[in-house]
């Protein structure tokens, strides 16, 4: 994957930068990193971060220090589908531990690992603000809430189907 | 029937969109406010007694009056939508279902503060909400409520949505400002306060989503009227996000005169504990506030009924009370293990420490490790005292309040549930398999689900 | 104002924080993230104390003393129980993850973390879990990285990035896994990286060159010394063991280098240990070239009786040695071992400085300047620590402005940094080819020397219209001049920096005219002229003609030349140097290292390096500083040059009182002979100096003598060699055991303070002047009422010539001195020598990057490097790198494609 925004992504980049005062383009760093992560395979390679630095006219190291601080930036490649399951108190009270264990068993991976086919990554995360709809996980842009084993089965199925259709 | 100021129209069909929102009286406060002077708006907010809904409860009008107004320097209002305190999801509800209410509040507040560029800093995980907000902003703009020369008053205002990227600490206002500037979310040392030097060195006010939404009813009904709702210094209504072991988790608007008991057991709110289980404990204001056992939750130490408001929830101080905090209401039933719950919270705070100052950076990690050992049957009696000692030295001694937030849950858990910790140490084999149970914490009246 | 610490009253200075006040009061209060040069950020929470409202308040409030300003009457409790318990807890937190590897850690024994741990009384471990671990990085040959030891005080990034402007070291990740390092393995790019080893309070960043021959601080023999690698004269403490120089560390000097050193100065010491040292007297042509001292003196007495005796002095030898040579050969036969151009330019600077109408700027003056103009000097490469001072001026001016806005105290780094954002104080960096300080400058100009001078004169004219205006000036130049002049007029403490980089006298004159024009509106403008070598100024003040002037004499043949610590091939073009040697029938060289000149010598005499010698040097500002021998080399033949020269003088004059002149006698003689040096002996501690009749020991009292380094040979510690005659310092651990005054302290140490941070105990206040009287021997004196005599001689605008190029030297930050490149680590970092050309000129010659070209006159072909903003008609050629040639700098050369 070449590290270069396409025209549409560049338009979005320009929209993001335009929100900040003149000379404060660095402020756009967080949203631009999100854009880069989405555009370049779901994670941030050194190459992508250097590209972002170049676009924002800042030093690459300024990008690295920020990218490593925030938990949403993946600095290693992840599977096509990233299951981020919350494990904090309110979700734990509603059985998130069982859900995490179930997903792990089903996909034969531990939290932090990716399935051999590169399809799924399981990641435990801290509170995502869906405590009333626990247990839950983030999948891409959206939340999957009120998780049960059956729902997990369905989600995995759905991902596999989507992947098959897209191929 | 409880008063509803924010969620009154939450169930109106299409309320997420401009047409339905306007039809139900939306944007009236802008029409009214833009005819007032900014000072008069600040005055109304002061009169309303509105307290910051993010957790600290600082009077909003007072905060607004601190903003510096140096000649020729732009000022900014920043909406803190980095809702990350475990148990709290009320701002998400507002933004997801009533985006125009927030936008309306932001326009009025921006006018009051003189902010021509207002930013909503939203936690990165709420990845779908910026689209909703931006759609609402576009609609508002198309209808003349935003942009240049709003309602012909000469007031210009733009609202931008900026996503965070996963850092609880960015809910702290100075860390949020750093993050908004594209930096690591390390809190700044105050002074200087953001009201003097905030984002890009400009005077800045950072307010919570709910606080800014509450400006709408305050302007519509007047500060004095708003102050009549509620009790004492807990004026107006408050959104409570209820979760944990209850029948009806969700977001509720309360007028702060109802009792905790009513809130948990009435069908209008949480609807009681599922499966006929008993109430064991509750964290009433987001994960950082002290956990209370049922007996101290429903009644204060003096035996008086505890109410869902700032004063009553903190009655008894940290010894026998808790806090209103961010309104994240987490209920634990009799099957829950306090040690395990505390462990997940300690893990959360360790993970979210920015790593700047030593007590928080090193202390949170150590507490997590000790709690893990106790939970998994490897603890010692002395570990409980050690935990107590560590949290006590963290509290009050860090750059930002995250240290306190990490220390309080541990302190309260030991304070009220010490025997449960000891039981874990004494029964290492059982600590994983079986719950310590209710012991003597349950409400004496043996309240069970209705 | 008065403050109360544990109920005892102390005097404190306004504008300081409580930590500084406590330390100034001599109280032991632990700290990590605060540093006198970096200010406070309140991150480590180690310096907590109780602050009480009044006498009745027994509760008090726990505060971080570094974040709280001094107020009159404030009552603080350092020994208060909760404060003490909290400080112990902070250490315990840090110790949860700090490895217990002190025995194998290079920092052990001079570790601030060790000291602070002991100070808080933390001695029992309650943390029973695995410690966190990190992967270390390769940071190059100078600095070692051991992240596991990190206590996350953030000092490294605050120093490296904020203070020194380095952009390849930073903090990554978050919570209890923050990481300090580079984005990936690689050599640290800042030439000030060595300070990390001292800024880091523990062993994360350590000196990798020391690791090659490691010795604990307590096993070092140390002495106060002065860096010999450029004309700034930073103060250093050098340490030796078993005849090897082990390391150089910063020696605090408030006026000069403060707390820091550049990498050339810190790591450039290895030449002392070089295998290439001259260790024995040599007489060429003998069956056995190495000879005894008697044979040597016999040979010398014959050679010295020759008629045509000339002495070539050295810009890197001490005042004493140069003077001893001058006395030996006679003032009329004493020449400076530099080119005529350099001699002319340094003389011009001496003339300007001696006039006294301008103040000679110390590094501290530069740091405190609120506007700096660098006129023509490549200060980054020729005087790195001055470049760092220029950076501080730009940063501090912005910080002071920001602090004044909100009346914040100057120490409040955390808040000030936020306020300053990217603001900078005024800096105009006007150079031939740019430098890294360009990116903090408001005005950057890249131009040829004559045009730089013209811009300077134009600024002077803008400042004072009695000065001539430029004829035929282009509007852009005038605009720049106006911008600079406007900034200077608004400033209160402007400094003009210039020097010899441009090899152009008009630049030096223009710098004078700017500063002198400012004198009309300001009390005194300051100037700093950078010179090439550590004692260039000392040599220049001796007013000797250049070595090239020897040819002026009609009978410059069959000379017997005495060459002092000088490789003429580094100062003169090869042809000139060859011509010189062809006219010598005898060459006697005194030097420490074999070089091209010593190759020409019939008689070669082993000279001591700075580490084995006592001596005085005059830095660029006219400050005389004295250095003391760290050790006596085992090779008994190595002696200070002045020592040899005195012996020769005795032999020549047949004086046979059996004693050479001692160092102080020599200095007194010099003061009488050359009044310009009046007072220089004050810079030196008298050899008769003692405290209670005792020497000051060069070895710490904990010198162990028990390490097993040579146990295979002998289990006893070797006895250090002792000096003949008197000296203030002894070579053993015997002697005075208390704390000597700062100028007589061979190293800084205080009970409980084993690291370099013990310097605080010698200061009146942290980051301030030393306690007691420290003589500053300044040879240039401000003359208050004297009116300046302006030069006003504006050169014509530069016109590029056909087929000819103006040749200028391009120095390198790590190697523009002769000796630093003998450090393997530094040598490995040096770039390949090259010729820098403008884009147009390169096209004209049909060459691209990397193509080889030949410069005439000259012998070697060099690769081309194209420079985008270099003016046409100029070439820059690498100078000072090992093996590079010397050209007639400032002259015209021809170039042809190889």
Same domain as C666, residue C638: yes
Chain B: nearest CA to C182, how far in angstroms? 16
Q: SS3 of B148, please?
A: strand
Confidence band of B450 (pLDDT split at 50, 70, 90): very low
Report the chain C residue with the minimal C-alpha distance to residue B400: C43
Contact assignment for B243 to A73 by CB distance below 8 Å = no
pLDDT number for residue B210: 95
Chains near A, with 3+ CB pairs < 8 A?
Answer: B, C
ipTM for the whole complex: 0.95
- Asked whether the predicted pLDDT for residue C422 surpasses 90, the reply is no
pLDDT, tens only, C31-66: 999 999 999 999 999 999 999 998 899 999 999 999
Same domain as A62, residue A102: no
Report the chain B residue with the minimal C-alpha distance to residue A146: B249
- Asked whether the predicted pLDDT for residue C347 surpasses 50, the reply is yes
Put simply, whether B251 touches A (Cβ < 8 Å) is: yes
Contact residues, chain B, for C415 at CB < 8 Å: 188-189, 191-192
Same domain as B392, residue B249: no
Rounded CA-CA distance B221/B219 in Å is: 6
In a domain, A54, yes or no: yes
In a domain, A73, yes or no: no
In a domain, C471, yes or no: yes
Please tell me which of the candidates C42, C173, C421 has its beta carbon nearest to residue B201: C421
Same domain as B245, residue B215: no
Contact assignment for A69 to C179 by CB distance below 8 Å = no
Please tell me which of the candidates C45, C85, C86 has its beta carbon nearest to residue B357: C45
pLDDT number for residue B433: 81
Report the chain B residue with the minimal C-alpha distance to residue C413: B189
pLDDT, tens only, C22-36: 999 999 999 999 999
Same domain as A16, residue A46: yes
Same domain as C562, residue C644: yes
Same domain as B193, residue B79: yes
Tell me if the bond preceding A135 is cis, omega within 30° of 0: yes
Put simply, whether B369 touches C (Cβ < 8 Å) is: yes
Phi then psi for A80, rounded to 5 degrees?
-60, -35
Structure-block tokens of residue A58:
């800042």
pLDDT number for residue C650: 85
Higher pLDDT, B450 or C721: C721
Same domain as C566, residue C482: no
pLDDT number for residue C148: 96
Confidence band of C707 (pLDDT split at 50, 70, 90): low
Same domain as B202, residue B244: no
Same domain as A154, residue A101: yes
DSSP state of C360: E
Sheet with strand B250-254: strands edge to edge:
B250-254, B238-244, B328-333, B279-283, B292-293
In a domain, B388, yes or no: yes
In a domain, A111, yes or no: yes
Instruction: Strands of C800-860 (E only): list them.
Output: 805-810, 835-838, 852-856
Same domain as C452, residue C572: no
Q: Calculate the CA C663 to chain-centre distance.
A: 24
Confidence band of C406 (pLDDT split at 50, 70, 90): confident
Say how many C-beta atoms besides its own lie within 10 A of residue C35's C-beta.
24
Classify the phi-psi angles of C73: left when phi > 0, otherwise alpha if psi is within -120 to 50, otherwise beta: left
Lowest mean pLDDT among B81-90, B108-117, C875-884: C875-884
Contact assignment for A127 to B348 by CB distance below 8 Å = yes
Same domain as A59, residue A17: yes
- Asked whether the predicted pLDDT for residue B2 surpasses 80, the reply is no
Tell me if the bond preceding C857 is cis, omega within 30° of 0: yes
Contact assignment for A69 to C172 by CB distance below 8 Å = yes
Beta bridge partners of C360: C527
Same domain as B322, residue B179: no
Contact residues, chain C, for A69 at CB < 8 Å: 172-174
Which residues form the domain of C82? 2-98+113-120
Q: How many CB pairs under 8 A join A and B?
A: 149
Chain B: nearest CA to C136, how far in angstroms? 19
Same domain as C352, residue C298: no
Contact residues, chain B, for C408 at CB < 8 Å: 191-192
Rounded CA-CA distance C627/C449 in Å is: 36
Lowest mean pLDDT among B411-420, C468-477, C747-756, C815-824: C815-824
pLDDT, tens only, C769-789: 999 877 779 999 988 777 888
pLDDT, tens only, B157-207: 999 999 999 999 999 999 999 999 999 999 988 888 999 999 998 999 999
Same domain as A91, residue A54: no
Percent of chain B exceeding pLDDT 90 equals 87
Contact residues, chain B, for C129 at CB < 8 Å: 366, 369
Which residues form the domain of A104? 81-166
Same domain as C643, residue C586: yes
Contact residues, chain C, for A63 at CB < 8 Å: none
Report the chain C residue with the minimal C-alpha distance to residue A23: C422
In a domain, B93, yes or no: yes
Same domain as C486, residue C429: yes
Same domain as C421, residue C555: no
In a domain, C246, yes or no: no
Interface of B with C in 131-190 (CB under 8 A): 167, 184, 188-189
* Cα B315 to Cα B303, B307, B318, distances in angstroms: 11, 10, 8
Q: How many domains does chain A have?
A: 2
Say how many C-beta atoms besides its own lie within 10 A of residue C284's C-beta.
12
Residues of A in CB contact (< 8 Å) with B are 19, 21, 24, 26-31, 33-34, 56, 65-66, 69-73, 87-90, 92-94, 125-134, 138, 140-142
Please tell me which of the candidates B197, B358, B369 has its beta carbon nearest to residue C94: B358
Contact residues, chain C, for B188 at CB < 8 Å: 414-415, 418
pLDDT number for residue B449: 36
Chain B: nearest CA to A29, how far in angstroms? 5
Contacts of C34 (CB under 8 A, 6+ apart): C19, C40, C41, C44, C47, C66
Instruction: Strands of B82-116 (E only): list them.
Output: none
Lowest mean pLDDT among A155-159, B435-439, C209-213: B435-439
Q: SS3 of C64, please?
A: strand
Say how many C-beta atoms besides its own lie within 10 A of residue A150's C-beta.
8
Contact assignment for A72 to B84 by CB distance below 8 Å = no
Beta bridge partners of B51: B59
Same domain as B412, residue B355: yes
Contact assignment for B74 to A126 by CB distance below 8 Å = no
Instruction: Strands of C329-370 (E only): list them.
Output: 334-336, 359-360
Put simply, whether C762 touches B (Cβ < 8 Å) is: no
pLDDT number for residue C423: 85
In a domain, C712, yes or no: no
Tokens 């932001």 identify what position?
B106
Contact residues, chain B, for A66 at CB < 8 Å: 182-184
pLDDT number for residue A156: 96
Same domain as B214, residue B100: yes
* Cα A124 to Cα A96, A113, C202, distances in angstroms: 10, 10, 35
Average pLDDT over residues A32-46: 95
DSSP state of C55: T
Same domain as B87, residue B102: yes
In a domain, A58, yes or no: yes
Chain B: nearest CA to C252, how far in angstroms? 29
In a domain, C682, yes or no: no
Q: Which of C180, C183, C188, C436 to mutate to test the interface with A (most CBs of A within 10 A)?
A: C183
pLDDT number for residue C296: 92
Same domain as C609, residue C571: yes
pLDDT, tens only, B355-410: 999 999 999 999 999 999 999 999 999 999 999 999 999 999 999 999 999 999 99
Domain termination site, one of C673, C695, C715 = C673
- Asked whether the predicted pLDDT for residue C604 surpasses 90, the reply is yes
In a domain, C522, yes or no: yes
In a domain, A2, yes or no: no
Confidence band of B448 (pLDDT split at 50, 70, 90): very low
CATH of the domain at B82: 3.40.50.11540
What average pLDDT does chain C have? 92
pLDDT, tens only, C82-138: 999 999 999 999 999 999 999 999 999 999 999 999 999 999 999 999 999 999 999
What average pLDDT does chain B have? 93
Of C749, C607, C745, C623, nearest in space to C685 by CA: C745
Average pLDDT over residues C680-689: 90
Chain C: nearest CA to B256, how far in angstroms? 34
Rounded CA-CA distance C551/C568 in Å is: 15
Q: Are C655 and C747 in contact (CB under 8 A)?
A: no
pLDDT number for residue B190: 81
Percent of chain C exceeding pLDDT 70 equals 98
pLDDT number for residue A153: 97
Contact assignment for C176 to B364 by CB distance below 8 Å = yes
CATH of the domain at A107: 3.40.30.10
Put simply, whether B386 touches C (Cβ < 8 Å) is: yes
CATH of the domain at B305: 3.10.20.600
Same domain as A115, residue A54: no
pLDDT number for residue C709: 66
Q: Are B202 and B74 in contact (CB under 8 A)?
A: yes
- Asked whether the predicted pLDDT for residue C658 surpasses 50, the reply is no
Contact assignment for B182 to A92 by CB distance below 8 Å = no
Average pLDDT over residues C247-274: 95
Which residues form the domain of B220? 18-228
Contact residues, chain A, for B283 at CB < 8 Å: 89
Phi then psi for C620, rounded to 5 degrees?
-60, -30
Q: How many domains does chain C have?
A: 4
pTM above 0.80, yes or no: yes
Chain C: nearest CA to A84, how far in angstroms? 19
Same domain as A86, residue A160: yes
Contact assignment for C415 to B192 by CB distance below 8 Å = yes
Same domain as C566, residue C665: yes
Same domain as C538, residue C480: no
pLDDT number for residue C664: 83
Q: How many domains does chain B have?
A: 3
CATH of the domain at C34: 3.10.20.740
Same domain as C483, residue C388: yes
Same domain as B266, residue B212: no
Contact assignment for A61 to C179 by CB distance below 8 Å = no
In a domain, B92, yes or no: yes
Report the chain B residue with the minimal C-alpha distance to residue C172: B184
- Asked whether the predicted pLDDT for residue C520 surpasses 80, the reply is no
């Amino acid at each position: 994957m070449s590290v270069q925004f396409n025209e549409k992504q560049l338009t979005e980049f320009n929209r993001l930068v335009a929100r900040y005062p003149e000379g404060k383009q660095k402020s756009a760093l967080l949203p631009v990193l999100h854009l880069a992560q989405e555009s370049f395979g779901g994670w941030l390679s050194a190459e992508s971060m250097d590209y972002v630095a170049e676009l924002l006219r800042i030093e690459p190291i300024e990008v690295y220090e920020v990218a490593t601080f925030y938990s949403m930036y993946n600095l290693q490649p992840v599977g096509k589908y990233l299951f981020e399951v919350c494990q904090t108190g309110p979700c734990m009270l509603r059985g998130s531990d069982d859900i995490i264990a179930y997903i792990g068993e089903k996909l034969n991976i531990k939290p932090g690992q990716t399935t051999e086919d590169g399809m799924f990554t399981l990641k435990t995360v801290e509170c995502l603000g869906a405590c009333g709809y626990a247990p839950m996980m983030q999948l891409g842009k959206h939340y999957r809430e009120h998780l049960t084993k059956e729902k997990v089965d369905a989600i995995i199925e759905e991902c596999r189907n989507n992947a098959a259709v897209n191929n | 029937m409880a008063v509803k100021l924010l969620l009154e129209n939450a169930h109106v069909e299409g309320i997420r969109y401009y047409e339905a929102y306007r039809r139900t009286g939306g944007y009236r406060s802008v029409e009214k406010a833009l005819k007032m002077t900014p000072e008069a708006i600040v005055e109304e907010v002061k009169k309303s007694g509105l307290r910051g809904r993010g957790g600290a409860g600082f009077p909003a009008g007072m905060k607004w009056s601190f903003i510096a107004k140096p000649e020729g320097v732009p000022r900014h209002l920043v909406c803190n939508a980095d809702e990350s305190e475990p148990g709290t999801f009320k701002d998400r509800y507002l933004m997801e279902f009533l985006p125009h209410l927030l936008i309306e509040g932001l326009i009025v507040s921006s006018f009051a503060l003189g902010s021509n560029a207002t930013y909503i800093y939203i936690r990165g995980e709420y990845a779908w909400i910026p689209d909703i907000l931006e759609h609402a902003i576009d609609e508002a703009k198309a209808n003349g409520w935003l942009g240049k020369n709003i309602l012909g008053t000469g007031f210009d205002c733009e609202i931008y949505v900026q996503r965070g990227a996963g850092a609880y600490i960015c809910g702290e206002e100075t860390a949020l400002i750093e993050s908004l500037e594209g930096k690591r979310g390390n809190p700044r040392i105050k002074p200087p306060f953001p009201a003097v030097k905030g984002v890009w060195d400009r005077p800045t006010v950072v307010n919570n989503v709910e606080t800014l939404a509450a400006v709408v009813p305050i302007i519509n009904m007047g500060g004095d009227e708003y102050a009549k709702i509620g009790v004492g210094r807990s004026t107006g209504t408050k959104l409570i996000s209820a979760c944990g072991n209850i029948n009806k988790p969700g977001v509720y608007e309360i007028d702060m005169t109802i009792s905790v008991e009513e809130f948990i057991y009435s069908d209008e709110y949480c609807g009681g504990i599922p499966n006929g289980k008993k109430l064991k404990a509750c964290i009433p204001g987001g994960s950082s506030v002290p956990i209370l056992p049922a007996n101290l939750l429903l009644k204060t130490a003096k035996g008086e009924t505890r109410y869902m408001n700032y004063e009553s929830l903190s009655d008894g101080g940290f010894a026998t009370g808790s806090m209103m905090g961010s309104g994240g209401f987490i209920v634990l039933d009799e099957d829950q293990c306090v040690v395990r719950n505390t462990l997940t919270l300690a893990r959360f705070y360790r993970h979210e420490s920015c790593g700047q100052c030593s007590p928080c950076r090193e202390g949170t990690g150590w507490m997590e490790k000790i709690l893990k050992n106790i939970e998994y049957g490897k603890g010692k009696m002395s570990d409980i005292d050690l935990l107590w000692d560590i949290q006590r030295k963290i509290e009050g001694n860090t750059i930002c309040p995250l240290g306190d937030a990490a220390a309080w849950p541990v302190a309260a858990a030991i304070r009220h549930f010490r025997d449960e910790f000891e039981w874990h140490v004494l029964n290492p084999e059982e600590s994983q398999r079986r719950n310590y149970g209710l012991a003597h914490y349950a409400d004496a009246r043996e309240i069970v689900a209705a | 104002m008065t403050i109360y610490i544990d109920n005892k009253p102390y005097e404190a200075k306004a504008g300081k924080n409580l930590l500084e006040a406590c330390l100034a009061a001599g109280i032991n209060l632990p700290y990590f993230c605060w540093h006198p040069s970096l200010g406070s950020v309140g991150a480590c929470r180690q310096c907590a104390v109780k602050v009480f409202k009044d006498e009745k308040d027994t509760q008090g409030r726990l505060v971080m003393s570094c974040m709280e300003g001094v107020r009159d009457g404030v009552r603080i409790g350092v020994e208060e129980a909760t404060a003490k318990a909290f400080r112990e807890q902070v250490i315990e937190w840090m110790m949860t993850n700090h490895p217990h590897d002190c025995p194998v850690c290079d920092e052990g024994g001079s570790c601030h973390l060790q000291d602070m741990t002991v100070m808080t009384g933390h001695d029992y471990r309650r943390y029973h879990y695995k410690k966190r671990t990190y992967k270390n990085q390769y940071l190059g040959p100078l600095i070692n990285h051991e992240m596991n030891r990190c206590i996350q005080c953030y000092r490294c990034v605050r120093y490296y990035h904020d203070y020194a402007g380095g952009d390849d070291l930073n903090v990554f990740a978050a919570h209890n896994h923050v990481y300090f390092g580079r984005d990936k393995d690689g050599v640290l790019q800042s030439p000030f990286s060595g300070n990390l080893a001292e800024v880091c309070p523990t062993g994360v960043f350590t000196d990798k060159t020391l690791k090659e021959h490691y010795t604990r601080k307590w096993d070092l023999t140390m002495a106060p010394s002065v860096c010999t690698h450029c004309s700034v004269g930073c103060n250093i403490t050098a340490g030796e063991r078993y005849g090897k120089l082990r390391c150089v560390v910063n020696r605090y000097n408030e006026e000069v280098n403060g707390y820091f050193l550049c990498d050339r100065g810190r790591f450039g010491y290895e030449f002392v240990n070089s295998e290439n040292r001259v260790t024995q007297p040599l007489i060429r042509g003998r069956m056995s070239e190495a000879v005894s001292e008697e044979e040597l003196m016999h040979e010398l007495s014959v050679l010295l009786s020759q008629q045509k005796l000339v002495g070539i002095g050295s810009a890197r030898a001490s005042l004493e040695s140069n003077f001893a040579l001058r006395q030996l050969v006679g003032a009329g036969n004493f020449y400076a071992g530099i080119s005529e151009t350099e001699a002319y330019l340094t003389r011009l600077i001496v003339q300007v400085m001696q006039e006294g109408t301008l103040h000679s700027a110390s590094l501290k003056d530069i740091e405190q300047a609120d506007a700096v103009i660098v006129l023509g000097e490549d200060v980054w490469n020729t005087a790195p620590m001055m470049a760092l001072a220029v950076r501080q001026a730009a940063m501090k001016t912005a910080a002071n402005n920001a602090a004044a806005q909100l009346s914040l105290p100057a120490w409040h780094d955390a808040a000030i940094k936020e306020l300053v954002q990217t603001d900078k104080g005024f800096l105009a960096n006007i150079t031939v080819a740019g430098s890294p300080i360009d990116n903090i400058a408001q005005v950057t100009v890249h131009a040829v020397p004559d045009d730089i001078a013209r811009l300077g004169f134009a600024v002077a004219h803008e400042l004072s219209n009695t000065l001539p205006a430029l004829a035929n000036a282009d509007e852009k130049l005038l605009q720049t001049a106006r911008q600079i002049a406007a900034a200077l007029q608004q400033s209160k403490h402007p400094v003009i920096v210039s020097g010899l980089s441009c090899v152009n006298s008009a630049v030096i004159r223009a710098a004078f005219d700017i500063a002198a024009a400012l004198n009309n509106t300001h009390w005194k403008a300051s100037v700093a002229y950078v010179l090439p070598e550590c004692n260039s100024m000392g040599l220049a003040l001796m007013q000797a003609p250049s070595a090239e002037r020897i040819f002026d004499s009609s009978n410059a043949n069959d000379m017997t030349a005495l060459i002092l610590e000088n490789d003429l091939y580094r100062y003169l073009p090869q042809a000139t140097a060859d011509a010189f040697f062809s006219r010598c029938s005898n060459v006697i060289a005194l030097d420490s290292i074999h070089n091209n000149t010593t190759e020409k010598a019939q008689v070669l005499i082993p000279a001591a390096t700075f580490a084995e010698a006592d001596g005085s040097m005059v830095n660029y500002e006219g400050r005389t500083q004295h250095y003391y021998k760290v050790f006596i080399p085992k090779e008994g033949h190595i002696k200070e040059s002045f020592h040899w020269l005195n012996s020769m003088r005795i032999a020549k004059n047949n004086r046979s009182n059996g004693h050479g002149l001692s160092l102080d006698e020599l200095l007194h003689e010099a003061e009488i002979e050359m009044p310009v040096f009046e007072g220089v002996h004050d810079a030196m501690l008298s050899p008769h100096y003692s405290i209670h009749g005792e020497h000051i020991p060069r070895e710490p009292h904990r010198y162990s003598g028990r390490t097993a380094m040579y146990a295979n040979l002998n289990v006893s510690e070797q006895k250090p060699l002792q000096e003949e005659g008197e000296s203030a310092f002894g070579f053993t651990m015997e002697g005075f055991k208390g704390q000597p005054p700062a100028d007589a302290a061979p190293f800084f140490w205080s009970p409980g303070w084993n690291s370099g941070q013990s310097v605080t105990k010698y200061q009146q206040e942290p980051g301030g002047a030393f306690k007691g009287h420290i003589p500053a021997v300044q040879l240039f004196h401000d003359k208050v009422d004297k009116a300046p005599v302006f030069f006003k001689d504006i050169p014509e605008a530069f016109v590029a010539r056909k087929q000819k190029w103006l040749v200028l030297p391009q120095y390198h930050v790590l190697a523009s001195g002769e000796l630093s490149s003998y450090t393997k680590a530094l040598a490995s970092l040096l770039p390949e020598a090259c010729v820098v050309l403008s884009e147009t000129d390169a096209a004209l010659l049909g060459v691209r990057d990397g193509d080889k070209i030949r410069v005439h006159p000259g012998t070697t072909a060099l690769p081309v490097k194209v420079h985008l903003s270099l003016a046409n008609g100029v070439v820059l050629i690498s100078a000072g790198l090992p093996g590079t040639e010397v050209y007639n700098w400032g002259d015209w050369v021809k170039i042809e494609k190889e």
